[in-house]
Amino acid sequence: MSDYQQNPLIPAILAVLKQNAQQPNQSPFGIHHLLASLGRHPCFAELDDGELGLFKKNFLMMNGLYQLQRSLWEEGSLVLSIATLDIQLLPLSEWEQKGTLPDHSDPMRDYYLDWQHYYETTEEDVAALLASFWLRQDGDARQEALTTLQLSHDATPREIKQRYQKLAQEHHPDRGGDQGCFMEIRAAYELLKA
């Protein structure tokens, strides 16, 4: 299957981004804002609201962004920076003044420019993607909690409880400790004991 297929969302994406760029004192414009702006686009009409439909809507939007980024870059007039919480469309001269240009070797870009992912992804694939996302999130939160309690990744429940008690005693507000630090320690302990 060909990697390149013209995305029908591109004109609508460009119109929304240009409109947003013209706003004075614009606040960050994220992917969720763009998806909301494109919500009634005819491309989305045949897609349901289930997890696979949402995946396909997101894929179409991201593919359109990356195709647009590539074509604008090749034209050399505008630069499209794509970040989850901030999509920016600026003249090349403004980007050059910042001293940084968007990275075109992004694995996400490669993923979303491959139409096979759009056509071949199943509901089971989407469920697996979501499950792996939440596992990574849980793993990151656990590691952060262990770091807060100054413990290694293989700490036992007993070691976790002992370290919590020691740190809680040191940082308890009733004993002159910092309330914010104490609350962080408590939150870390609650996460780890669950």
When pLDDT is cut at 50, 70 and 90, the band that residue 66 belongs to is very high
When pLDDT is cut at 50, 70 and 90, the band that residue 1 belongs to is very low
Domain-wise residue ranges, the chain = 10-121, 130-193
How far is residue 152's CA from residue 33's CA, in Å, rounded to a whole number?
40
Q: Residue 101: what pLDDT?
A: 63
Q: Which residues pair with 88 in a beta bridge?
A: 81
Q: Which amino acid is at 3?
A: D
Q: Which CATH architecture has domain 130-193?
A: Orthogonal Bundle (1.10)
The beta-carbon contacts of 17-23 under 8 Å, at least 24 apart in sequence, are 17/80, 17/87, 17/89, 18/89, 20/89, 21/88, 21/89, 21/90
Q: What sign has the CA pseudo-torsion 130, 135, 136, 141?
A: positive
Q: Residue 116: what pLDDT?
A: 95
Tokens at 113, concatenated? 């420019």
Q: Residues 51-68: what's their mean pLDDT? A: 94
* Whether the Cβ atoms of residue 72 and residue 122 lie closer than 8 Å to each other: no
Q: Which amino acid is at 192?
A: L
Residue 10, pLDDT > 90, answer yes
Q: How many other CB atoms are found less than 10 A from the CB of residue 47?
A: 14
Please state whether the predicted TM-score (pTM) of the whole model is above 0.85. Answer: no
Q: Residue 15: what pLDDT?
A: 94
Q: Which amino acid is at 36?
A: A
